[in-house]
């Protein structure tokens, strides 16, 4: 096992229609408004931007993300990332019961020097840090949709 590689899979069930959930997830520049751990998103062009994340642990991760797929009919959003993390992330949005199932998958390798240095002893904390970030995102998305802020 390479200690600097991570694979994540998270499922969020959201009580809103898939097209509404997809539209919110597709507007990455707005993530800081509802996802507390996404501290900043700056668009470079219509398909590329930089993002800064910070969860529980006191460090920022900065990545350049490039959209590689935006397919509303298939419910797929995918990016590649470079910077402190290198790899890809994907949302798959599907109808589920009376709402939506949003599947988040990510495969990355850590490039941030301190995280690489602490790869083995820090791995359990890094995994908890990610889980807390995803919990914050799920709660933020549900709140945003519940407040009727899902238009436009």
CATH of residue 117's domain is 3.30.530.20
pLDDT above 50: residue 81: yes
Give the pair of three-digit tokens for residue 33: 């408004």
Residue 41 lies in a domain: yes
- Which has the closest alpha carbon to 105: 30, 26, 37, 12? 12
pLDDT above 60: residue 150: no
pLDDT at 151: 46
Residue 11 lies in a domain: yes
pLDDT at 116: 96
Helix, strand, or coil (residue 81): strand
Percent of all residues in the chain with a pLDDT value above 90, rounded to a whole number: 95
Number of C-beta neighbours around residue 37 at 10 A:
21
Angle in degrees, 0-180, between the axes of helices 119-146 and 18-26, rounded to the nearest 10: 120
Residues present in the chain in total? 152
Convert the pLDDT of each residue in 106-145 to its tens digit: 999 999 999 999 999 999 999 999 999 999 999 999 999 9
Residue 152 lies in a domain: no
pLDDT at 152: 42
Residue 60 lies in a domain: yes
Query: What's the whole-number average pLDDT of the chain?
Result: 95
Alpha helices in the chain (DSSP H): 18-26, 31-34, 113-117, 119-146
Residue 47 lies in a domain: yes
Residue 91 lies in a domain: yes
Residue 99 lies in a domain: yes
Name the band, by pLDDT with cuts 50, 70 and 90, for residue 83: very high
Name the band, by pLDDT with cuts 50, 70 and 90, for residue 149: low
Convert the pLDDT of each residue in 51-77 to its tens digit: 999 999 999 999 999 999 999 999 999
Number of domains in the chain: 1
Residue 151 lies in a domain: no
Domain that holds residue 76: 5-146
Alpha helices in 76-118 (DSSP H): 113-117
């Amino acid at each position: 096992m390479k200690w600097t590689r991570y694979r994540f899979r998270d499922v969020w069930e959201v009580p809103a229609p898939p097209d509404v959930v997809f539209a919110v997830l597709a507007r990455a520049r707005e993530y800081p408004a509802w996802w507390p751990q996404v501290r900043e998103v700056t668009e470079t062009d219509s398909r590329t931007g930089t993002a800064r994340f910070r969860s529980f642990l006191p460090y920022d991760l900065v990545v350049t993300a490039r959209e590689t797929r935006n397919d509303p009919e298939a419910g797929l959003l995918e990016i590649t990332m470079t910077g402190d993390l290198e790899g890809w992330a994907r949302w798959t949005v599907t109808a589920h019961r009376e709402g939506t199932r949003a599947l988040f998958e990510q495969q990355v390798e850590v490039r941030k020097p301190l995280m690489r240095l602490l790869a083995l002893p820090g791995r359990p904390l890094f995994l908890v840090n990610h889980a807390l970030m995803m919990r914050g995102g799920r709660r933020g998305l549900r709140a945003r949709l519940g407040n009727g802020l899902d238009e436009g």
